[in-house]
Amino acid sequence: MIRPGGTIGILGGGQLGRMLTLAALRYGLKVHVFAPEADSPAFDAAAERTCAPYEDEAALTRFARSVEAVTFEHENVPRRTAEIVGRHAPLHPGAAALATAQDRLAEKTFVAGLDLPTAPVRAVASEAEFAEAVAIVGRPAVLKTRRFGYDGKGQVLVEADTDLSQAWGTLWGAPCILEGYVPFESEVSVVAARTATGEFAAYDLCANEHRDHILSMTRVPAGVSPETEQEAVAVARRIAEALDYVGVLAVEMFLVGKHVVVNEIAPRVHNSGHWTIEGARTSQFEQHVRAVCGWPLGSARRLGRAEMRNLVGDDVETWPGVLAEPGAHLHLYGKADARPGRKMGHVTRVEPD
Amino acid sequence: MIRPGGTIGILGGGQLGRMLTLAALRYGLKVHVFAPEADSPAFDAAAERTCAPYEDEAALTRFARSVEAVTFEHENVPRRTAEIVGRHAPLHPGAAALATAQDRLAEKTFVAGLDLPTAPVRAVASEAEFAEAVAIVGRPAVLKTRRFGYDGKGQVLVEADTDLSQAWGTLWGAPCILEGYVPFESEVSVVAARTATGEFAAYDLCANEHRDHILSMTRVPAGVSPETEQEAVAVARRIAEALDYVGVLAVEMFLVGKHVVVNEIAPRVHNSGHWTIEGARTSQFEQHVRAVCGWPLGSARRLGRAEMRNLVGDDVETWPGVLAEPGAHLHLYGKADARPGRKMGHVTRVEPD
């Protein structure tokens, strides 16, 4: 167990790392952020910072030796980076969760292996395999790179009239999967936490809306039946337990009729859980810190009807209006350049149930 | 107006500076903390840190030039420090508020000058003046140093049998005031914010309990009549307006019958306002950052019945129990050494009204 006053390490310096750092500070911890980009938002909040590539073994070793536990804010941390760090400090969540979640083929195979519903999938390593997979899976389908996909990056929709050769070319020959298209009504996610002792706590189901493949809005409660919500939470718990997971994870799901189909596992705090900062008794960031430190989980009880809207790209220019709105909670990530598609901040509104 | 992405400077590196920093980070700001002590809790959260004495003019100048506005987390910032900083960056609250609040004689004179109720007071600069003052003010009374008093430091109670020469000796001949004793029923405080444009927002009245002169607990609502609460808020507003105040201030008051008597003005965020982090729509720290940045104030609406207990000295060892209690919000300040009387953290509980 880590005591207050101890230091935790975070691999990755984006807004998730920044908000994790704020939660850790509130508990009297120190944070050491390791990130390759000099303008990492999390650096602004961390007591210690290492700016180095994920391949810099000496820097990783120094980093891991300076902390009592390491966590990460995104799943694209290279496996070798996790291994090096793991030699010198406990890594939560562990290497197995990271390896499973960062490779779409491993992820789908893992979920299907638990007998949980997910889209049909074929591995695709060449144009010939791609054509063969389309013949089996059928159209529409989605060609996705096995790694480094987020916010719709590394995806091509294969429709009835899609030219396969052209589609294959857009992903630069990276190892892919072809995923059968799930005709879903809406998208939901379960954000939950699990500790090393098996304690588990899920937040209420989140209803998510995307725009241009980027999360646009989360609403809680999700407006589904209690049975569907229970099913979704049970699926997330099954996944967390099978991974012997420690920390917060999010399972993104499709809603098909009254049932859920697993879409993606995020082995980390998640954008659809940002509403918990004001909308739940314990935020997802505090919850993750608790799990990483070996502390008991906090109450995941919802405090009201919550709505979280992302400020993407130019949206951030609305900040003065948000500040002037009573009851709107503005969060900005300290990013200098509001490029299109870049998550610059979010706004949460919580109203009594 | 400071835009998100800008940097604010904080003089002082204690827990108030730390929590101010966390609030600023949440709004996408950067923070530069200036403090003389190397182990300042706020250093752990700040993007930029200057560890230098308040008398280091070169360091102060560099600090002030690196930020867009400066604020402070305690009123014992020397006047000359404030002057140097104020040459290069706007200081909020301003030098007048600082000068008034850091000298008990100036403070009492100011409050009395507004025709607001406060204890009778005499300036005392020598043992002879002390004896003379006791003869006029009567016993019981309290001898207080004019400067650097907090948490009961720099105070001697003058009772019927107190030896005046001995009492005078305990304060090392520092310039003092003798203050008439106010026979109060209880202690309350108004925590409020004011902007440069005159916008004003007060939180609900706080009922405070002290132990060994250190704040032990704050409860909101305070359990007084609406008339008394209105009177208290009006007193705080009068003070804020007379000081042309920008930022959060706290006015500590005695409750005598149905009326309030001003005890002390704290020109800063205040321990009795910590409950606002979870208990109000906008925390006192966010509110202060808004005022300093020239932004509109947020809603000061209370979200439930709040109780804040300080973790003083060894109290901090109760942290595992607090973490395990659903609905208890633990805040620790990252201080290494739990000396007796040292504020190590606090716990807030908020229940529906």
Q: What is the pLDDT of residues A224-233, one digit of tens each?
A: 999 999 999 9
| Residue A296: how many other CB atoms lie within 10 Å | 15
d(CA B335, CA B46): 16
For residue A330, the surrounding DSSP H or E stretch is strand A328-332
Q: Does B274 touch chain A (CB under 8 A)?
A: no
pLDDT, tens digit (0-9, with 9 covering 90-100), for B170-199: 888 889 999 999 999 999 999 999 999 999
pLDDT, tens digit (0-9, with 9 covering 90-100), for B121-176: 999 999 999 999 999 999 999 999 998 766 667 889 999 999 999 999 888 888 99
pLDDT, tens digit (0-9, with 9 covering 90-100), for A83-102: 999 999 999 999 999 999 99
Distance of CA B77 to the CA centre of its chain: 13
Give yes or no for residue A307 having a pLDDT over 80: yes
Q: What angle do CA B202, B208, B212 make, to 5 degrees?
A: 140
Q: Does A153 touch chain B (CB under 8 A)?
A: no
The structural architecture, per CATH, of the domain B7-91 is: 3-Layer(aba) Sandwich (3.40)
What's the mean pLDDT when you consider all of chain B? Answer: 96
pLDDT of A147 reads: 87
For the segment A295-323, the average pLDDT, to the nearest whole number, is: 97
pTM higher than the cut 0.80: yes
The structural architecture, per CATH, of the domain B120-180 is: 2-Layer Sandwich (3.30)
Q: Which of B44, B316, B324 sits opposite A30 (nearest CB)?
A: B44
Give yes or no for residue A261 having a pLDDT over 90: yes
Residues in CB range of B125: below 8 A, 6 or more apart? B175, B176
For chain A, what are the domain ranges?
7-91, 120-180, 186-351
Distance of CA B284 to the CA centre of its chain: 11
State how far residue A282 is from chain B, nearest Cα, in angstroms.
Answer: 8
Are the C-beta atoms of residues A178 and A141 closer than 8 Å to each other? Answer: yes
CB contact under 8 Å between A18 and B27, yes or no, is no
Give yes or no for residue A170 having a pLDDT over 90: no
What's the mean pLDDT when you consider all of chain A? Answer: 96
pLDDT, tens digit (0-9, with 9 covering 90-100), for B71-88: 999 999 999 999 999 999
Q: Does B48 touch chain A (CB under 8 A)?
A: no
Give yes or no for residue B328 having a pLDDT over 80: yes
Nearest 10 degrees: Cα torsion A40, A46, A51, A53: -80
CB contact under 8 Å between A323 and B29, yes or no, is no
Closest CA to A93 of A326, A266, A305: A266
Q: Does B338 touch chain A (CB under 8 A)?
A: no
Which residues lie across from A51 on neighbouring strands? A35
For the segment A35-47, the average pLDDT, to the nearest whole number, is: 97
The structural architecture, per CATH, of the domain A186-351 is: 2-Layer Sandwich (3.30)
d(CA B194, CA B191): 10
User: Is B160 exposed, middle or buried, given 0-12, 13-18 or 19+ CB atoms closer than 10 A?
Assistant: exposed
Q: Does A302 touch chain B (CB under 8 A)?
A: no
